[in-house]
């Protein structure tokens, strides 16, 4: 049973516009959430994270929003650039484990020039 779900396998946006990637989770014990970015033939790289005590975290063009009541988080990229084209993975972990990340299956973002 997928505890972290990314229901959109792919997303296509125009350069300069906003990209919104969504993630839902089912485990109420999750208290830390992360986004990883993956280019073809490379491993995932850490992008941004958020603790459950916050509802927003921003880093440059990237902002992650957390809605605990809905068990939903989203990653906003503004403005989107062609170099942002990659697979984005949502991941979560619970306070009971300081190492075990549960990943979603990923969303392929394509930013068109």
Least separation in angstroms between residue 108's CB and another protein is 12
Least separation in angstroms between residue 103's CB and another protein is 4
Q: Which C-beta is closer to another protein: that of 2 or that of 12?
A: 2
> Interface with another protein by CB under 8 A: which residues?
2, 32, 34, 41-46, 49, 89, 98-101, 103-106
- Cβ within 8 Å of residue 99, ≥6 positions away: 93
Q: Which C-beta is closer to another protein: that of 43 or that of 60?
A: 43
Distance in angstroms (rounded) separating the CA atoms of residues 83 and 97: 33
**Which of 15, 24, 19, 14 lies closest to 71, judged by CA?**
24
């Amino acid at each position: 049973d997928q505890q972290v779900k990314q229901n959109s396998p792919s997303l296509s946006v125009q350069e300069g516009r906003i990209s919104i990637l969504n993630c839902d989770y089912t485990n109420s014990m999750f208290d830390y959430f992360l986004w990883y970015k993956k280019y073809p033939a490379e491993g995932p790289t850490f992008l941004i994270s958020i603790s459950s005590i916050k509802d927003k975290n921003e880093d440059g063009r990237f902002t992650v929003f957390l809605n605990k009541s809905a068990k939903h988080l989203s990653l906003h990229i503004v403005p989107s650039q062609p170099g942002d084209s990659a697979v984005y993975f949502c991941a979560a972990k619970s306070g009971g484990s300081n190492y075990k990340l549960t990943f979603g299956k990923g969303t392929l973002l394509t930013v068109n020039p």
